[in-house]
Chain A
């Protein structure tokens, strides 16, 4: 999943730095992720993993770093399995 998220980030994130240089925990907003690009990223992730982010996860924290995104997606996938 980490790889997929990194690929999508590289594709739609519009970051001024190469995604490979970012640690999993690096602050994406500080790395230059704009609010517009963060929405593009959310859409790309929804499409790729066939999920929908519920409203309570649509906040800055859920998308603050690669590991935060991973945790958010994992949480949604797990909830879907349980359902």
Chain B
């Protein structure tokens, strides 16, 4: 028996790039047909990316928030829908890792997720509530050791393709709308009946259909912590940071396409500076701003993680909200600049400079938890929060 001549590069970056190559190959078809990026998610499983965040003690790789952000960005440059599936899965896993280690069931689920590469979806959005995820109408019913839940979930990305869904609800029939819990339901423990089709402008491959969710599972699958804490301490930050990382990826690829366009033009004109070059300089400036914003946000979260008080402070929520607001708005400006640089070649589908998919996908960012809603939350907090005017912190 001989050893293989080439050992695959097993660094996280190399694995992510291999998945990105698959995602890029199918990106246009996934977008056009609005279908689930099966090839890319199979590649994520094959490269064992779905379990990287799980602690090594439970069979994962204890990947850091920065490492996951980098994977989101690498995938985002290839296929935004595949990247968003990865990001949303990791956001769910972050709640499991941060809040599940005190419960035997959740620890076992982490082991199972890492070993079987389970894909986890999220059902927070509810009919009648919209994106106000800190409120629920539906209530979980606990009957001895069993819990039951019915939810009119208007958006569950890749709901039909997931191996488990984490669902928020009121903690009991009597509980106030803000008194919420989150429960893990594994496939086989729930039924989902499609109520709304996901036929959208962009992010088509996330297949975020609406479903009537009905689940029944052992009550130990309810997270032992209130959802309010889970939201404040893991979901708020990881959502805004990893969504932004995906969006950065979309914008970075758009700038790269614009740059190749300008470079090709420069070569043809014997080195004279082509007309798009100034816009490219502006786009590159904005891209750097976007990157700095996300990198600073990642550091803020990494620093705050050690201190639960800081994680639930207003200053921290405002900082994370600001990362989301800025990145969701800036990417549109950047991609639009890139489109103007590439002209018709960017506007058309099927050219090396096509930007239609980028622009359509990017438009979801402002709605994915409405920026108006986020601005509203921040403006309320600013009524009492004291500004931190330091530069370095």
> What residues of chain A have their CB less than 8 Å away from a CB belonging to chain B?
15-17, 29-36, 39, 42-43, 46, 52-56, 58-61
Contacts and interface: CB of A to CB of B under 8 A. Distances in A.
Contacts of B226: 29-30
Interface in B159-185: 171, 175-179
Nearest to B315: A55
Interface in B310-348: 310, 312-315
B175 A61 contact: no
Interface in B297-315: 309-310, 312-315
B380 interface: yes
B229 to A, nearest CB: 8
Interface of B: 134, 171, 175-179, 226, 228-229, 232, 309-310, 312-315, 377, 380-381, 383-386, 388
A22 to B, nearest CB: 12
Contacts of B309: 56, 59, 61
A13 B177 CA distance: 14
Nearest to A30: B179
Residue from A30, A42, A43 whose CB has the most chain B CB atoms within 10 Å: A30
A31 B377 contact: no
Contacts of A61: 309, 312
B228 A32 contact: no
A39 B176 contact: no
Main secondary structure of the interface of B (DSSP, over half): loop
Given A29-B179, A55-B315, A42 B228 contact: no
22 contacts: A15-B176, A29-B178, A29-B226, A30-B176, A30-B178, A30-B179, A31-B179, A32-B179, A35-B134, A35-B381, A36-B380, A42-B384, A53-B384, A55-B313, A55-B385, A55-B388, A58-B313, A58-B314, A58-B384, A58-B385, A59-B314, A60-B312
Per DSSP, chain A at the interface is: loop
Contacts of A33: 178
A53 to B, nearest CB: 6
Given A29-B179, A30-B179, A46 B386 contact: no
Contacts of B381: 35, 39
B125 to A, nearest CB: 18
Contacts of A31: 176, 179
Contacts of B385: 55, 58
B386 A52 contact: yes
Contact of A29 (B228, B380, B384, B388): B228
B134 A32 contact: no
A52 B377 CA distance: 20
Contacts of B377: 35
Contact of A39 (B175, B232, B310, B380): B380
Contacts of B134: 34-35
Contact of B386 (A16, A32, A55): A55
Contacts of B179: 29-32
B178 A39 contact: no
A54 B88 CA distance: 35
Given A30-B178, A31-B179, A32-B178, 15 more contacts: A29-B179, A30-B179, A32-B176, A32-B179, A34-B178, A36-B380, A39-B380, A46-B384, A52-B386, A55-B314, A55-B386, A56-B313, A58-B385, A58-B386, A60-B232
Given A30-B179, A32-B176, A35-B134, A54 B312 contact: no
